[in-house]
Structure 1
């Protein structure tokens, strides 16, 4: 399998924080602020969307590791975004640097590992 991925590729995913994204709604906290699970999901989405266009048909990636810090809170109604940057390619294992921001500041940072899989083969093993 030949990959057209290159170190340094980046992708941005953005959204507006809703009450459904809040810590109290998801049960991860007691306040109506942007939840850590939703920040992580946004970071994973930015990573997945970065890689997918470069994969052969019938292949995708699955998340296999996260090392994330949620460093600042964000109010409902604010725009947030995550930026994923491909920093390492080791055969089928990919490492991405990820950062998250709101309109005022950086809110999260870390690394994310994804693994390239053949869809049918992967599902067939479950």
Structure 2
């Protein structure tokens, strides 16, 4: 990894809740609200933004763990801010805390851990 990635570094992304993001199984909407699946997707995406500027050409990040709490619903049209904060960098492991906010309400919290691995190693694991 390129130098400069330190604890406290943060990135925020934004999303607007659409019907495609509703809680659903097998194509059937269970609740017309932001799903936990989409929340975790956004948590991982925000956390990935932390590492992207620091990856070397031969490296890639790979998610290795996610934990999440979905605290409140967010209906269609909700403007969400998803903030990832680097909490720890330990060898090739990058740990982030993630917060999903709608207006002033905390919608969800989580932790995402990624491993920085040579692309060649990832390819060898896939064979």
So what's the TM-score if we normalise by structure 1? 0.91
Contact between 1:26 and 1:35, CA under 8 Å: does it hold in 2? no
Contact between 2:2 and 2:54, CA under 8 Å: does it hold in 1? no
Q: Which runs of 5+ in 1 are unaligned?
A: none
Structure 2 Cα separation of the partners of residues 76 and 25 of structure 1: 18
CA RMSD of aligned residues (A): 1.9
Change (3 A) 1:119 1:64: same
Contact between 2:16 and 2:77, CA under 8 Å: does it hold in 1? yes
* Structure 1 range deviating more: 20-29 or 107-116: 20-29
Q: Which residue does the alignment assign to 1:6? A: 6
Contact between 1:80 and 1:100, CA under 8 Å: does it hold in 2? yes
Superposed CA deviations along residues 39-70 of structure 1, whole A, max 9, x for unmatched, are 11001100001111111112121111112100
Contact between 1:63 and 1:114, CA under 8 Å: does it hold in 2? yes
Q: For this pair of structures, how many residues does the alignment match?
A: 126
List structure 1 runs of 4+ shifted beyond 3 angstroms: 25-29
Contact between 2:88 and 2:94, CA under 8 Å: does it hold in 1? yes
Change (3 A) 1:3 1:79: same
Q: Which residue does the alignment assign to 2:120? A: 120
Structure 2 Cα separation of the partners of residues 15 and 26 of structure 1: 23
Superposed CA deviations along residues 86-105 of structure 1, whole A, max 9, x for unmatched, are 01011001110111111241
Q: Which runs of 5+ in 2 are unaligned?
A: none
So what's the TM-score if we normalise by structure 2? 0.90
Structure 1 Cα separation of the partners of residues 67 and 25 of structure 2: 24
